[in-house]
Amino acid sequence: MKKKKWIPMAVVIGLLILLIVLYTVLKHHNEQAAGQEEQTDSIRILDWSAEDVTSVRLMLDETEEIFVLSDGQWKLQSDKDFAVSESTLQTMLQTVTELSAVREITEPDDLAGYGLDAPVQTLTIQNEKGDTCTICWGSTNDITGDDYLYIKEKPDSVYTVSGSARSSLPETLEDCRESGDDTE
């Protein structure tokens, strides 16, 4: 009779072990699938690196300002004595060259629907070969908080990007001035 009591107990223990193994395998599989999904969800917009950029043009204080890289230092083209914050420009360039879109809208009907007929900010970067890339920020999607973005050199697409990307851009010329606590 003691032998019959162990048989159901052995079956239960066997099933428990099988369930633990299945749980572990499925958990591992789901983690791998989630990691692959995260990698494929973002859309790389530019194939530039921050080190490729030799000039930056953007609107600051309602004036177009141009910063050029000269002898490894950023200079304001209109005022060579202006002390440019290297960290501000590097942060901005790092952000825009590493931009990833949340979504790509191919062949948009009308740029005005995205606030891109009158962009809130336009940034043009140039590399040492003379290639340029003009990035235009449009309106913000009220539901997602993402910004609409347009690359003039890629006229067939409008992108949605994290709203925090635009916050890396300086708003005034003074935002680009080196302060006493900048570290390079």
The predicted structure's pLDDT at residue 7: 76
Digit-coded pLDDT (tens) for 12-30: 888 889 889 888 888 877 7
The predicted structure's pLDDT at residue 181: 61
Distance CA 103, CA 65 (A): 30
Question: At 144, is the secondary structure helix, strand, or coil?
Answer: coil
Which two three-digit tokens encode residue 85?
A: 């914050």
Distance CA 174, CA 182 (A): 13
Per-residue pLDDT of the chain (184 residues; tens, 9 = 90+): 456 677 788 888 888 898 898 888 888 777 776 654 444 467 889 889 999 999 999 998 889 999 999 999 999 999 999 999 999 999 999 999 998 999 999 988 889 999 999 999 999 999 999 999 999 999 999 999 999 999 999 989 999 998 888 888 899 999 999 987 654 4
Query: CB–CB of 139/147 below 8 Å?
Result: yes
The predicted structure's pLDDT at residue 168: 85
Domains of the chain by residue range: 2-41, 44-176
The predicted structure's pLDDT at residue 37: 43
* Residue ranges in the chain assigned as alpha helix (H): 2-41, 86-97
